[in-house]
Amino acid sequence: MSKKSFNSGAGPSTRQLRVGELIRRTLSDVLNQGDVHDPDLNRMSITVGEVRCSPDLRVATVYVLPLGGEGREAAMEALARNRGELRHQLDRKLDLKRSPELRFALDETFDRMDETRRLLESAEVARDTARSGDAPGDAEE
């Protein structure tokens, strides 16, 4: 069995995860230290939540969120404007064969967590979980 068929459909490889984390840390440092020559971007505090790399490591999707979640559009525009410089910074700081193309996307993890928390605190869910100690898998059918 080839390595490719063994890993197909099983999620990202260890290499993709490792490179994604290296890129995430490096971009976080670059953005926090103001290494980019764009005063608009340097004024923003942007969190890099996750980086997902394509299987060939040529494309890195960077999930970002401005601090407090405000100014999302301005942050995305500033990142897109400085995509080349950010890629150059990665190339300088990381020892990768090829610096990946950067694609930026809003990190919606916190929004999903808030929505999940809201659902769990709803009266309907509280009523369902308060029923006579029923646990998942305990119901007899």
Residue 2 has pLDDT above 50, yes or no: no
Please determine, for residue 7, whether its predicted confidence score (pLDDT) is greater than 60. no
Residue 31: predicted pLDDT: 95
Structure letter (DSSP) for residue 102:
E
pLDDT tens sequence across 55-114: 999 999 999 999 887 889 999 999 999 999 999 999 999 988 899 999 999 998 766 666
pLDDT at 68: 81
Instruction: Map out the domains of the chain as residue ranges.
Output: 11-130
Considering the four listed CATH numbers 3.40.920.10, 3.30.300.20, 3.30.1380.20, 3.30.450.20, the one that applies to the domain covering 11-130 is: 3.30.300.20
Considering only CA atoms, which of 125, 99, 82 is closest in space to residue 19?
A: 99
Please give the pLDDT value at position 132: 45
SS3 114: helix
Confidence of residue 126 (pLDDT cuts 50, 70, 90): confident
Q: What is the per-residue pLDDT across 8-48, written as a single tens digit (0 to 9) for each?
A: 567 899 999 999 999 999 999 999 999 899 999 999 999 99
Residue 15 half-sphere exposure, CB side, CA atoms within 13 Å? Answer: 7
